[in-house]
Amino acid sequence: MLTAAALALAGQSQPQPFASGPGCSGVSLTVKLDAGKSYAQKVGGLNFKISPDSGKGSCNGWAFTLEDADGNDFIYPVNMPLRFNPSQFLGCSYGLSAKEGLEMKRNMRFILNKRDYLRLDPLMRDALWPYSSPDPEHAAEK
């Protein structure tokens, strides 16, 4: 089962209250995909997408995102580590076999609105690429 701090691939498609606090909700989906196929479903005002991702060599799998209308991924910026994190990939990646990747337990957070995305995205970019920051000297402090 893939769990994303309020997003789970498992059974229901309607948001359910999430026990961890106000403003959180949960969604469960059951999805069966053939290799190379994709899937998309609206979840609230966001698009949950599963896209084929051909890994290196003969390894294929799927990457998933939760995107707003502009294509901004609301999962990636708030799940550490930002680099070398296989949590948004189903299949083999980051040194995991396909079996290990599919068995990996995932518990992830996601951003709930565009305002928070616009606040957090620059901080994520500064952390990943401080040399491109408007203030490279203080990017790590932020």
pLDDT averaged over 10-residue windows placed end to end, the chain, 142 residues: 34 38 63 85 89 69 90 90 82 82 82 91 87 83 74
- Between the alpha carbon of residue 19 and those of residues 16, 23, 66, 99, the distances in Å are 10, 10, 21, 31
Q: In this predicted structure, what is the pLDDT of residue 68?
A: 94
Return the closest-CA partner of residue 120 out of 84, 77, 86, 87.
77
Put simply, whether the predicted model's pTM sits higher than 0.75 gets the answer no
3-state secondary structure of 131: helix
* 22 Cβ contact list (under 8 Å, min separation 6): none
User: What value does the CA radius of gyration of the chain take, rounded to a whole number of Å?
Assistant: 16
> What number of other Cβ atoms are within 10 A of residue 108's Cβ?
20
Share of the chain residues as helix, strand and coil, in percent rounded to the nearest 5: 25, 30, 50
Distance (Å, whole) CA 85 – CA 79: 8
End-to-end CA distance of the chain: 34
Spell out a b/e string for 39-78, using b for 16 or more CB atoms within 10 Å of the CB, else e.
eeeebeebbbbbebbebeeeeebbbbbbeeeeebbbbbbb
| Per-residue pLDDT at 74 | 94
